Amino acid sequence: MRTLARDISQAARDRPGETITVSGWVHRIRDMGGITFVVLRDRSGMAQIVFSEPSLLKNSEASGEKPAAEGENGLTLESVVTVSGIPALNEKAPGGAELRAASLVVVSRAMPELPYPVNGDIAKTGLETILDNRLLSVRNPKIRAIFNVQAVIIEAFSACLRSRDFTEIKTSKLVWGGTEGGTELFTVEYFDRKVCLAQSPQFYKEAMVASGMERVFEVAPAYRAEKHDTPRHLNEYVSLDVEMGFIESEKDLIDLERELLARIFEEVARKNAADLALWKASVPDAAAVAKAPVIAYEDAVKTANEWANGQAAKASGQAAGKAAGRKTERIFDINPEAERFLCDWSAAEYGTDLVFVNEFPRRYRPFYAYPSDANRTMSFDALFRGLEITTGGRRQHSYEAFVEVLPRFGLKLENMQNYAALLRYGCPPHGGFAIGCERLTARILGLANVKEASLFPRDRKRVAP
Amino acid sequence: MRTLARDISQAARDRPGETITVSGWVHRIRDMGGITFVVLRDRSGMAQIVFSEPSLLKNSEASGEKPAAEGENGLTLESVVTVSGIPALNEKAPGGAELRAASLVVVSRAMPELPYPVNGDIAKTGLETILDNRLLSVRNPKIRAIFNVQAVIIEAFSACLRSRDFTEIKTSKLVWGGTEGGTELFTVEYFDRKVCLAQSPQFYKEAMVASGMERVFEVAPAYRAEKHDTPRHLNEYVSLDVEMGFIESEKDLIDLERELLARIFEEVARKNAADLALWKASVPDAAAVAKAPVIAYEDAVKTANEWANGQAAKASGQAAGKAAGRKTERIFDINPEAERFLCDWSAAEYGTDLVFVNEFPRRYRPFYAYPSDANRTMSFDALFRGLEITTGGRRQHSYEAFVEVLPRFGLKLENMQNYAALLRYGCPPHGGFAIGCERLTARILGLANVKEASLFPRDRKRVAP
């Protein structure tokens, strides 16, 4: 019977003097001359193991058929071992207990030279090194914490939607062309023809809403063949997609996203306290999500400019002479800089680092965006801690309006037959949005680059491991 | 306030005489001369609506800006409508109540000629017609039931694993080459190079087990560029993947799959009773899963042959003369025919249509399969109702054994550096398996072709819609 690291102190209290067995990875070795302290890592956490004499550190069982070759003695970091011994309370040890080893079995010996220092400070290695050595870097507890949080995000997202009558769907990622007719698509050689990797499940989500399912969600990869390499982009990402029928406007969707984010933050706070602590991070509470402002695009641009100028004036006031001559560039769009300004503004004005921007101009949104008037659409973005994490909106559901709008976007009806079929046979008012899973993860933990929040990120240069 | 179809009888009981509003799709129209019965479909089910006079069937509100053109009057099937009226108990109506309409608004008018008869009997149209018209055919309640069941399968699979300390992961589907070095891979044009679509997340699952996460699962698409078109294959399918550290043999995995299947069946029975009823289907209970036999490959081949011969003898006994001369072909492998025979045998002998076959010969399994002796591996398949739904097994975790075995499989270490990195730095004994989501769905409902259980299936000829 194996005992997990987190249960050692319980064992020490409940069954003092009884031998227990733990298994895991050798995270750290401290030789104190005679006594050796080994920190063992397993899925539940860390355990301190005390080897009171050097002979106990010898493999007490042959792991293979051959005797150990020269140089293969000695415990190595990251080896997988099984240790039996007596648990003892020790308030200085992680979890308040340690294991006094009586025997050691090396289950899988790690090569002595690790290409990445698993137990080191990740701030001391660059992102490229971390990603080049992903199989080892993900063993670092702080890095693994990122993916513990991500798992809870996905769980909470799904659970919240199921409780609101949403059905999970799984749709094809091999499509005949872009949903939005865009050019940023990867091509797949599919038998004797070429197809594309889906950049969004939107068409399929809409189809399932129109089928009568009404409320659907999907958690799946999405692909963008963007050539530029930025801290906010991934060529393959996990899209948390939602689509909902019988809505009136994007405000229904903003309400739903508030509920979703509040639930996600609540679950992460509850289940990932240790992970958040490693990153010195915290999540907004429900009140902070509730008070996130909704600001119309035009006002948002204005506010971002005012905020930028106010900040610049403040800086020049503080730093006197030197910065006084600096002039802030005018912001014309909700670009990455404006996203940061708006979140700072919201934090200062509303005490929340979440902002919804709605009423985007028609020229900035795709053909299917539902117009609220001649120039604006029922669409929105969600910005969180300086980064856009969501784009969404109500979609066009009228076939006649769809046919009318196509030429304005340079699209031809004969190339849009699938979309036409969606609207010709009864389609309710509907809309949806997608949350970028890696972006949300990154912003919760304060990661500088969204690639850090992807287990095996893909960019223009990276397709391995 | 909208009332769902399933809540009409409640409204009739709780607030008699009060007007309610329903919205949904016109599923059926029965004109009884003067009185018209409309069956309305929404996400919750069906509602009977009674229009006591023809004038009530007229759109009481302009849905667009234009007046209705000639021929645009008259309610069409699949139109989305909103109806207000008084609910009344009627035990002959679905759900035990009907709505007596007072007003109708056509929200989205369906073209009068439907390319697919949504409210018809799906047995009357072939699979190709169903898939060609997927946007409409999925509106058929019996077809939508398939995907209601599938959503619950995914939910139960994930919930069961989370309760057992498994962490959900999302790994890249763009890989530098096949996990198994196979040839059945789709190629993606990835910027200036070519990569492949992953046929399995196995390498990544193993990497995450070895990272210390120990227990992981993933629900994601998987790709096989198989050219042949069979009722059991999809070129893109949803793989329910599991991987687990610190196992002793494939028996630990079989135990886990029993637990998973029992949980999935239980949840489907509980949440999809109406969906199962539409297909006249049922799921095995926990006792049936518990008594599923585990039979070694060699014995399974023997048993399949004996069963086939026994059945042939029985048939010839029954049909006398004519069939007497027929000889059953000898089965040499667990081919599709043997899978059917083994499930029939298990149903007859053990009262369960689930069978686990283990101890597959080394020559039938990939290089990473863990050998139990010189000829056999710690691997298994799960067969359910005549179809393989799972392949899995314990994997090699020793770097030395991995290096030794590669030449036997025609593989070169220099091409396997990623896999080597997985094993060089401490890897626990581990294994895993994958359940084909569409296959399990199909076998639960008794679908003849696995494509029926894929929302937007991909085969050699089909990439749309």
E strands of B90-226, at which residues?
97-108, 167-168, 174-175, 187-190, 193-197, 215-223
Percent of chain A scoring above 70 in pLDDT: 94
Contact assignment for B190 to A186 by CB distance below 8 Å: yes
Contact assignment for A135 to B422 by CB distance below 8 Å: yes
H helices of B140-190, in order, are: 141-163
Mean pLDDT of chain A: 93
Say whether pLDDT at B181 is over 80: no
Contact assignment for A246 to B2 by CB distance below 8 Å: yes
DSSP B179: T
Separation between Cα atoms, residue B406 and residue B422, nearest integer Å: 15
Q: What is the per-residue pLDDT across A227-241, written as a single tens digit (0 to 9) for each?
A: 989 999 999 999 999
State the number of CA atoms in the 13 A half-sphere of A445 facing the CB.
31
> How many of the other CB atoms lie within 10 Å of CB of A200?
21
CB B354 within 8 A of CB B346: yes
Domains of chain A: 5-108 (2.40.50.140), 136-292+352-453 (3.30.930.10)
Closest alpha carbon within chain B to A117:
B425
Contact assignment for B188 to A193 by CB distance below 8 Å: no
Contact assignment for B212 to A426 by CB distance below 8 Å: no
CB A196 within 8 A of CB A185: yes
The enclosing H or E element of A192 equals none
**Cα of B314 to nearest chain A Cα, Å:** 44
Contact assignment for B139 to A211 by CB distance below 8 Å: yes
Contact assignment for B427 to A80 by CB distance below 8 Å: yes
Q: What is the mean pLDDT of residues A183-211?
A: 94
Q: What is the mean pLDDT of residues A380-402?
A: 97
**Cα of B365 to nearest chain A Cα, Å:** 23
Provide, as residue numbers in chain B, all residues whose Cβ is less than 8 Å from the Cβ of A460: 191
Contact assignment for A188 to B189 by CB distance below 8 Å: yes
Q: For the residues of B378-395, what is the DSSP string, one character each?
A: SEEEEEETTEEEEEEEEE
**Cα of B331 to nearest chain A Cα, Å:** 32
Say whether pLDDT at A275 is over 60: yes
Give the pLDDT score at B219. Answer: 98
Separation between Cα atoms, residue A110 and residue B400, nearest integer Å: 12
φ, ψ dihedrals at A85, nearest 5° = 175, -170
**Nearest CB to A428; choose among B80, B144, B397:** B80
Say whether pLDDT at A321 is over 90: no
Q: What pTM does this model have?
A: 0.96
Q: What is the mean pLDDT of residues A280-287?
A: 98
Provide, as residue numbers in chain B, all residues whose Cβ is less than 8 Å from the Cβ of A238: 170
**Cα of B321 to nearest chain A Cα, Å:** 49
Minimum mean pLDDT range among A361-370, B47-56, B275-284, B319-328: B319-328
CA angle B184, B188, B191 (to 5 degrees): 155
Closest alpha carbon within chain A to B418:
A465
> How many of the other CB atoms lie within 10 Å of CB of B409?
14
**Nearest CB to A425; choose among B114, B150, B214:** B114
Provide, as residue numbers in chain A, all residues whose Cβ is less than 8 Å from the Cβ of B397: 108
Q: What is the mean pLDDT of residues B436-445?
A: 98
Cα Rg of chain A (Å, integer)? 27
Burial-class residue B309 by CB neighbours within 10 Å (0-12, 13-18, 19+).
middle
Residues 6+ apart with CB under 8 A from A183: none
CB B151 within 8 A of CB B219: no
Question: What b-and-e string marks burial along B438-451, b requiring 16 or more CB atoms within 10 Å of the CB?
Answer: bbbbbbbbebebbb
Q: Is A105 strand, coil or helix?
A: strand
Contact assignment for B135 to A422 by CB distance below 8 Å: yes
Contact assignment for A147 to B24 by CB distance below 8 Å: no
Mean pLDDT of chain B: 93
> How many of the other CB atoms lie within 10 Å of CB of A27?
20
**Cα of B117 to nearest chain A Cα, Å:** 12
Percent of chain A scoring above 90 in pLDDT: 86
Give the pLDDT score at B356. Answer: 98
Which of the two residues, A318 and A122, has the higher pLDDT score?
A122
Give the pLDDT score at A326. Answer: 52
CB B219 within 8 A of CB B157: yes
H helices of B49-174, in order, are: 127-132, 134-137, 141-163
Separation between Cα atoms, residue B140 and residue B344, nearest integer Å: 32
> How many of the other CB atoms lie within 10 Å of CB of A96?
14
CA distances from A347 to A54, A261, A276 (A): 56, 17, 20
φ, ψ dihedrals at A413, nearest 5° = -55, -40
Q: How confident is the model at residue A405 (pLDDT cuts 50, 70, 90)?
A: very high
Q: What is the per-residue pLDDT across A247-274, written as a single tens digit (0 to 9) for each?
A: 999 999 999 999 999 999 999 999 999 9
Contact assignment for A173 to B114 by CB distance below 8 Å: no
The count of CB pairs under 8 A between chains A and B is 254
Q: What is the per-residue pLDDT across B191-217, written as a single tens digit (0 to 9) for each?
A: 999 999 999 999 999 999 999 999 999
Give the pLDDT score at A228. Answer: 85
CB B37 within 8 A of CB B43: no
Residue position matching structure tokens 């080896």: A79
**Nearest CB to A425; choose among B78, B151, B429:** B78
Provide, as residue numbers in chain B, all residues whose Cβ is less than 8 Å from the Cβ of A214: 42-43
Give the pLDDT score at A311. Answer: 86
H helices of A29-140, in order, are: 127-132, 134-137
Separation between Cα atoms, residue A94 and residue A53, nearest integer Å: 21
Q: What is the per-residue pLDDT across B130-171, written as a single tens digit (0 to 9) for each?
A: 999 999 999 999 999 999 999 999 999 999 999 999 999 999
Residue B108 Ramachandran class (φ > 0 left, ψ -120 to 50 alpha, else beta):
beta
Say whether pLDDT at B107 is over 90: yes
Contact assignment for B221 to A220 by CB distance below 8 Å: yes
Separation between Cα atoms, residue A364 and residue B284, nearest integer Å: 53
**Cα of A223 to nearest chain B Cα, Å:** 10
Q: Which of B260, B450, B135, B456 is nearest to A198 (CA)?
A: B456
Say whether pLDDT at A177 is over 90: no
Contact assignment for A172 to B456 by CB distance below 8 Å: yes
Minimum mean pLDDT range among B226-240, B407-421, B432-446: B407-421
Give the pLDDT score at B62. Answer: 53
Q: What is the mean pLDDT of residues A49-54?
A: 96
Residue position matching structure tokens 């069409």: B76
Give the pLDDT score at A314. Answer: 86
The single-letter code of the amino acid at B342 is L
Contact assignment for B173 to A425 by CB distance below 8 Å: no
Residue A349 Ramachandran class (φ > 0 left, ψ -120 to 50 alpha, else beta):
alpha
**Cα of B147 to nearest chain A Cα, Å:** 7
Give the pLDDT score at B312. Answer: 84
**Cα of A211 to nearest chain B Cα, Å:** 5
**Nearest CB to B189; choose among A158, A187, A204:** A187
Q: How confident is the model at residue A316 (pLDDT cuts 50, 70, 90)?
A: confident
**Nearest CB to B428; choose among A108, A214, A397:** A108
Residues 6+ apart with CB under 8 A from A320: none
Separation between Cα atoms, residue B37 and residue B29, nearest integer Å: 6
Q: Is A73 strand, coil or helix?
A: coil
DSSP A371: B
The single-letter code of the amino acid at A211 is S
Which of the two residues, B74 and B129, has the higher pLDDT score?
B129
Contact assignment for A144 to B211 by CB distance below 8 Å: yes
Contact assignment for A425 to B135 by CB distance below 8 Å: yes
Give the pLDDT score at B65. Answer: 44
Say whether pLDDT at A182 is over 60: no
CA angle A439, A442, A448 (to 5 degrees): 110
Closest alpha carbon within chain A to B114:
A425
Name which of A422, A456, A458, A462 to mutate to probe chain B: the one with the most chain B Cβ atoms within 10 A of its Cβ: A456
Closest alpha carbon within chain A to B416:
A465
CB B400 within 8 A of CB A65: no
Closest alpha carbon within chain B to A455:
B171
Residues 6+ apart with CB under 8 A from B183: none
> How many of the other CB atoms lie within 10 Å of CB of A149?
26
Contact assignment for A136 to B400 by CB distance below 8 Å: no
Contact assignment for B170 to A2 by CB distance below 8 Å: no
**Nearest CB to B147; choose among A147, A169, A463:** A169
Contact assignment for B465 to A421 by CB distance below 8 Å: yes
Say whether pLDDT at A319 is over 90: no
Separation between Cα atoms, residue A396 and residue A423, nearest integer Å: 9
**Length of chain B measured in residues:** 465
**Cα of B55 to nearest chain A Cα, Å:** 22
Name which of A43, A61, A162 to mutate to probe chain B: the one with the most chain B Cβ atoms within 10 A of its Cβ: A43
Q: Which of A81, A87, A82 is nearest to A19 (CA)?
A: A87
**Nearest CB to A144; choose among B173, B212, B397:** B212
Q: What is the per-residue pLDDT across A119-161, written as a single tens digit (0 to 9) for each?
A: 999 999 999 999 999 999 999 999 999 999 999 999 999 999 9
**Cα of B220 to nearest chain A Cα, Å:** 7
Q: Which of A393, A55, A94 is nearest to A248 (CA)?
A: A393
DSSP B406: G
Cis omega (within 30 of 0) for bond into B465: yes
**Cα of A196 to nearest chain B Cα, Å:** 9
Q: What is the per-residue pLDDT across B25-39, written as a single tens digit (0 to 9) for each?
A: 999 999 998 999 999
Minimum mean pLDDT range among A362-366, B198-202, B271-275, B314-318: B314-318
Q: How confident is the model at residue B326 (pLDDT cuts 50, 70, 90)?
A: low
Closest alpha carbon within chain B to A44:
B213
**Nearest CB to B214; choose among A42, A193, A464:** A42
Say whether pLDDT at A451 is over 60: yes
Q: What is the mean pLDDT of residues B212-239?
A: 96
Residues 6+ apart with CB under 8 A from B306: none
Model-level ipTM above the cut of 0.85: yes
Q: How confident is the model at residue A67 (pLDDT cuts 50, 70, 90)?
A: very low
Provide, as residue numbers in chain B, all residues whose Cβ is less than 8 Å from the Cβ of A425: 78, 110-111, 114, 135-136
